[in-house]
Amino acid sequence: MEEIKEILWRQFGAVIDMLESSILVCPESFWDKKDFWYSAYHTIFWLDYYSSVKPDEFSPPQPFSLSEFDPKGILPERIYLKEELLEYLEHCRKKVFFLIEGLNEETSKERFITKKKNYNRIEMILYNMRHVQHHVGQLNLLLRQNVDTAGKWVSQTNKKY
């Protein structure tokens, strides 16, 4: 189990590093475009939620709300600052690290259950990682098409807590 935990963290941490890189390289002149800031926020919000042990008790940190759960797709009441999303991403990075660090034979079988999902913890970690990577690709495409830059590729993270 220890080797699996290390592999999961190195790869999931790398995806988080790539999301951070995409946010960092986004110029202020492009940040306020809905397609960028909102996609970054959406990715971080769901990263946080999908990393929850008890999804029915989930609440994002302030100043973020549960607007992502609104079935009408209502946007947050304002554009979040880059610094706010980077702080939220750091919160999530620690949450994911400790979620993976806490894996053992028992916790790996615990279920993430919602109306649409019923996964064991390891499958939920993989699902979450795939979701983040999907949006990192979108963000980098937006950056390339609009400002001729993109976040960096990260093979493995070297961050630990």
Q: Is residue 160 part of a domain?
A: no
Q: Is residue 161 part of a domain?
A: no
Tokens of 38: 């909102």
Q: Is residue 159 part of a domain?
A: no
Q: Is residue 158 part of a domain?
A: no
Q: Is residue 152 part of a domain?
A: no
Q: Provide the domain count of the chain.
A: 1
Q: What is the 3-state secondary structure (H, E, C) of the chain?
A: CHHHHHHHHHHHHHHHHHHHHHHHHCCHHHHCCHHHHHHHHHHHHHHHHHCCCCHHHCCCCCCCCCHHHCCCCCCCCCCCCHHHHHHHHHHHHHHHHHHHHCCCCCHHHCEEECCCCEEEHHHHHHHHHHHHHHHHHHHHHHHHHHHCCCCCCCCCCCCCC
Q: Is residue 45 part of a domain?
A: yes
Cut 0.75: pTM above it: yes
Q: Is residue 7 part of a domain?
A: yes
CATH number of the domain to which 93 belongs: 1.20.120.450
Tell me how far apart the alpha carbons of residues 49 and 92 are, in angstroms, rounded to a whole number: 9
Q: What is the pLDDT along the chain (161 residues), one digit of tens a residue?
A: 999 999 999 999 999 999 999 999 999 999 998 889 999 999 999 999 999 999 999 999 999 999 999 998 888 999 999 999 999 999 999 999 999 999 999 999 999 999 999 999 999 999 999 999 999 999 999 999 999 999 999 999 999 88
Residue range of the domain that includes 139:
1-147
